[in-house]
Structure 1
Amino acid sequence: MTHPRRSFRIPARWTPYLLISPFLILFAVFGLFPLLFSAWMAFQSWEPTSGLGSMQFVGLENFSFALQDAWFWKSLRNTMWLALASGLPQHLVALPLAVFIHSRFKRLRDGVAGAYFLPYITSTVAIAMMFTSLFSTDYGLVNAVLGGVFGMEATPWLTQPDKLKVAAAIVVFWRYVGFNLMLYLAALQTIPRDLYEAATLDGAGPWAKFWRITLPSLRPMILFGVTLSVIGGLQLFEEPFILTNGNGGPDQTVMTSAIYLYRLAFDFNDFGGAAAMSWVLCGVVVVMTLLTNRAFKER
């Protein structure tokens, strides 16, 4: 006599959790665990080559070292400068450019916007190598154009500290201006056309429409874009790292906080100090984000 086979059925209430379980597992392994482990390392003195058993609890010693480290504060000042010098022009250019593309380009709008967005999805290594060639002292296109048009002498963009800062800011600006452009274009398409038609009937000109309708309507998206720029700018790593071969340039001019944390951990094997500095940097990001939100708060 054969027994009927029993089929295993998952209760319906568990189905949603089962469907999202792959994300939860990946997040726990590659997101939550590194976060918690870095918090644990911030209170430890540890060299990875000696194994996990060599960890020694040192309390707040790593945080004390971070707050007294002159190189960390120098890297933080470099990060703040690059974040401001590259982030502010992004929005000052992306916003009016988005308005222009939205109003002037109808059928070709997506193609033009895609061309500006292309640098954002391009490999950072390729971008840094390209700009390294463009800013070359002897054979770079930038010096060739400046010399041919304005008669300027060749400028050592990548070897002079003040020039290197400008070059790094240009690279970051060029890469991310298209991303902010796409944000503003998406927001512009949500503004009702009835508002502009009513303003036209009232005799409002283009500037009045921009200041009274477009800009106030874009306020939430401007806050979102600026917040992303603040967070991304304070975590700046790839562009200056590749542009200077990982050494921060002459006099550590563009050594950002992220680059310094990387070198402290992997060059000097001070993972505890690097973990503590990363949490200090996290606190700076939180404070700057709150200040940004407060600045854009409606009054």
Structure 2
Amino acid sequence: MTLNVDTPAPARREGPRRSSGPRNPGRGGRGLARFDLRATPYFLVSPYFLLFAVFGLFPLGYTAWVSLHDWELAGDKTFTGLDNYTELIADGAFWNAVLNTVGIFVIATIPQLVLALMLANALNKRIRGRLFFRLGILLPLVTSVVAVAVVFTQLYGRDYGMINWFLSLFGVEAIEWQNQSWSAWIAIATMIDWRWTGYNAIILLAAMQTIPKDLYEAASLDGASARRQFWQITVPMLRPTLIFVVFVSTIGGLTLFAEPVMFEGNPTMAGGATGQYQTVAMFIVKEAFRDFDMGYASAAAWLLFALILIGILINYSFTRRIGGKK
């Protein structure tokens, strides 16, 4: 015999219902919501574009206008069209500055990026005092450019410099580092590498820490060595960050100014007795504020802008192939 007992359902509490508003808002409400979703992002990012227009686009446009004139710093202003550009293209001093800039850029940037990648890979491993070393590689970045230039100028001194003393142990005669192009390029490149390698290493290190650890564990189970994991996993996964680092290094290298000026020790912007390490940025400042030819300097600035674009495109054509992408 089976006894079935029906349990009464719990009483439902009655209370005031919350109003959720009209289910079908009017046409005005939908339009306002749609406008808010579309316009708010532009409103939030507009301060950057306003500042960029004032401090970026306007100087570019004004410099382009000045470059079309025979514009003295405190004198007459005569429209000359493209005469400044044609004269600049035939100017041997300008192309000497371009050669110096590209030479220093190549000597400094390639070892800098390779060393930064190696440092980032080393600091990404579990080592003792890892935080200390990570902070230590940023110390050159916070050091004054003047202090860096003074120290390196003493290191590359002819008679009492440590570099010449070290080379003399191998029978090498004392080198006049400021008197020849190749030696001055090397001296300035070491200053740049010492100052900016740690900065690039920290950026690459931050990108390395975002790579999933599962990829390395799977590669280890397949028998891949640490070197193979670095080239087959780490470097391809760093491709976007490497492109960014290369772009920033290209812009910084082709607008090089502070290091060669301080290495010269005499702010004439000549870059040595024969301009052996005068960069394009030094050439522009010399033409504008020593020779007071603003139009000629503005034309050189625009050619430097074109040089930077060419350098970025060339570097991008190489970096985009990282990871097997053609």
| The two structures share one fold, judged by TM-score above 0.5 | yes
- 2:72 is matched with 47
CA distance in 2 between counterparts of 1:41 and 1:117 reads: 40
| Count of aligned pairs | 283
Q: Is the 8 A contact 2:255 2:281 kept in 1?
A: yes
Tell me the secondary structure at the aligned position of residue 36 of structure 1.
helix
Q: Could you tell me how far apart the structure 1 residues matched to 2:87 and 2:98 are?
A: 15
Match of 1:60 in 2: 82
Aligned to 2:163: 142
Give the 5 Å matches for 1:42-121: 42-50=67-75, 54-105=76-127, 108-121=129-142
Query: Offset of 1:221 from its aligned partner?
Result: 1.4
Counterparts of 2:43 and 2:315, CA distance in 1: 39
For the structure 1 residues 104 and 151, does the alpha-carbon distance in structure 2 shift closer, same or farther, using more than 3 Å as the test? farther
Q: Which residue of 2 aligns with 1:174?
A: 194
CA RMSD of aligned residues (A): 2.4
Counterparts in 2 of 1:225 and 1:20: CA distance versus 1, 3 Å: closer
Question: Does the CA contact (< 8 Å) of 1:143 and 1:155 recur in 2?
Answer: yes
Note if 1:31 corresponds to 2:53.
no
CA distance in 2, matches of 1:22, 1:189: 32
Cα displacement string for residues 77-102 of structure 1 (whole angstroms, at most 9, x for unaligned residues): 11111000000000111112211121
Amino acid at match of 2:239: R
TM-score normalised to structure 1 length: 0.86
Distance 1:96 1:22 in 2: 39
Could you tell me how far apart the structure 1 residues matched to 2:177 and 2:99 are? 20
1:156 is aligned to: 176
Deviation at 1:20, TM superposition (A): 7.3
Q: Which moved more, 1:136-145 or 1:23-32?
A: 23-32
TM-score (norm 2): 0.80
Structure 1 residues 39 and 110: alpha-carbon distance in aligned structure 2, compared to 1, 3 A threshold: farther
Alignment of 1:201 onto 2:221: yes
Q: Is the 8 A contact 1:133 1:140 kept in 2?
A: yes
Q: Is the 8 A contact 2:124 2:205 kept in 1?
A: yes
* Whole-Å separation in 1 of the counterparts to 2:171 and 2:319: 44
Which segments of 5 or more consecutive residues in structure 1 lack a partner in the other structure? 1-12
Aligned to 2:32: none
Equivalent position SS for 1:291? helix
Inter-partner Cα distance in structure 1 for 2:160 and 2:101:
29
- Give the aligned residue type for 2:114: L
Residues 1:16 and 1:103: Cα distance change in structure 2 (over 3 Å): closer
Distance 2:152 2:121 in 1: 29
2:42, 2:224 → 1: CA distance?
Answer: 54
Residue of structure 2 equivalent to 1:255: 278
Residue type at the aligned position of 1:294: S
- 1:38-92 superposed Cα distances (whole Å, 9 cap, x missing partner): 1110111111212xxx321111111111111111111101111100000000011
Residue by residue, what CA displacement relative to the aligned partner does 1:192-217 show, whole Å, maximum 9, x if unpaired? 11111111111111112112111111
Cα offset for 1:24? 6.2
In structure 2, the partner of 1:7 is: none
Percent identity, aligned pairs only, is 41
Q: Note the C-alpha offset of 1:285.
A: 0.9
Alignment partner of 1:248: what SS? coil
Distance 1:113 1:269 in 2: 46
Separation in 2, partners of 1:135, 1:259: 21
Kindly tell me: are residues 216 and 22 of structure 1, through their superposed partners in 2, closer, same or farther at Cα, counting changes over 3 Å?
closer
In structure 2, runs of 5+ residues without a counterpart are 1-35
Checking the alignment, whether the CA contact within 8 Å between 1:161 and 1:250 is kept in structure 2 is no
- Say which SS state the counterpart of residue 224 (structure 2) adopts: coil
User: 2:304 matched to 1:268?
Assistant: no
SS of 1:48's partner is coil
User: Secondary structure of 1:87's partner?
Assistant: helix
Question: Secondary structure of 1:159's match?
Answer: coil
Greater share of helix: 1
CA shift in 2, pair 1:242/1:295, >3 Å: same
In structure 2, the partner of 1:8 is none
Change (3 A) 1:227 1:267: same
